[in-house]
Structure 1
Amino acid sequence: MGRIKLGSDRRRGGSGELGARILKVNHAGENGAVNIYAGQILLARLTAPSLVAELCEFKAHEERHRAVFWAELRRRQRPRCRSYWLCGLGGFVLGVATGALGRQAIAATTVAVERVVLRHLEHQLMMLGGRDKEACEAIASIVTEERQHHDRSACHIAGHGLWSKVLSPLVAASTEAVIWVGMRV
């Protein structure tokens, strides 16, 4: 996935505009994450009951992350990303599908999503550093929990099983595509 070019920021009104676009996409992505966990929780009660408490914890973190980005968007008087509801629907469908497949698929999904998200968050912090303090603070406030989601879920994956080989690349590519589209709508 291509990175956001700083030059495109200048055409659209400076670092505040780039920060706002990033925050909108991050907010939509957090809505997707909340709904991934909601779908997984629904099915994990049957397929992976030992993960339900952890999934509920992760969902609560994602709800907080979504609120952080929404508060910053409201402060800037910016609307939600146009992809907000689509991310929520897509997240729920992904959550239900992977929840139905069980523990390994649930964990592989979280690892794949968080790997992409962490890479984007680190890139965003680098791009916005010294240019948009408030956006950087909002982004930095969620990184530790996102890393915990990745690392804790990675512990549930037995070796490099089927779900890591098959599901992870599809989920990672889908996550990249959602971010790419979100930055352009």
Structure 2
Amino acid sequence: MKVDHAGEHGAVNIYAAQIFMARFTAPTFVQELLEFKSHEEKHRSLFSAELQRRGLRRCRSYWLCGIGGFILGLFTGLLGAQAISATTAAVERVVLKHLQEQLLSLAHIDEGAVAVISEIVAEEQQHHDQSISHLIPGHILSNVINRVVTISTESVIWIGMRA
């Protein structure tokens, strides 16, 4: 739950920075990004409530995720629509895998966590699928961003799970 909360904070910051940059580089994406950001803010609040309910502090990587997310969002937002879409698709693919693994491991152990995670999965899948629909197959920038963002997101989750 702690790493999920930190990850949602990172996602909020990715979208905040992308929204700022997209106003100049991909204005047709701004509404979609605003919607995605509102979902991530809700997810962050749900995980925050679960941490509070359990008497847990937030993950040590919370601020790292926020700062890293903002920098990633600025950079990819500057590069335009393909970079924005590739970033969202890559992040959400990794996050969805992580959340599915959590659902399996928490089934019959923590129904509260399962309920919260289940509520979030559909919106994360929506973000992924909409972003994939914007990608141009074989676009070199998208392929590079996909690899870098996938490795980075997996690393942040791995570090967060051990912090």
TM over 0.5: yes
- 2:31 aligned residue (43, 47, 53): 53
Query: What residue is the counterpart of 2:8 in the other structure?
Result: 30
Does residue 118 (structure 1) correspond to residue 96 (structure 2)? The answer is yes
Q: Secondary structure at the match of 2:134?
A: coil
Describe how 1:18-97 pairs up with structure 2 within 5 A. 23-97=1-75
Q: Deviations over 1:77-109 (max 9, x none)?
A: 111000001100000000000000000000000
Unaligned runs of 5+ in 1: 1-22
Query: What residue is the counterpart of 1:152 in the other structure?
Result: 130
Q: What TM-score comes out, normalization by structure 2 length?
A: 0.99
Q: What amino acid is the match of 1:182?
A: G
Unaligned runs of 5+ in 2: none
Q: What amino acid is the match of 1:167?
A: I
- 2:146 aligned residue (168, 180, 184): 168
Q: Secondary structure at the match of 1:80?
A: coil
Q: What TM-score comes out, normalization by structure 1 length?
A: 0.87
Q: Deviations over 1:104-124 (max 9, x none)?
A: 000000000000000111110
Q: What amino acid is the match of 1:144?
A: A
Q: What amino acid is the match of 1:140?
A: S
Q: Deviations over 1:123-166 (max 9, x none)?
A: 10001101111111111110000000000011111112012211
The runs of at least 4 consecutive aligned structure 1 residues that moved more than 3 Å come to none
Does residue 102 (structure 1) correspond to residue 77 (structure 2)? The answer is no
Give me the identity figure in percent: 60
CA distance in 2, matches of 1:126, 1:99: 34
Please provide the CA RMSD for this pair. 0.6
Alignment: residue pair count? 163
Query: What residue is the counterpart of 1:9 in the other structure?
Result: none
Q: Which structure has the bigger radius of gyration?
A: 1
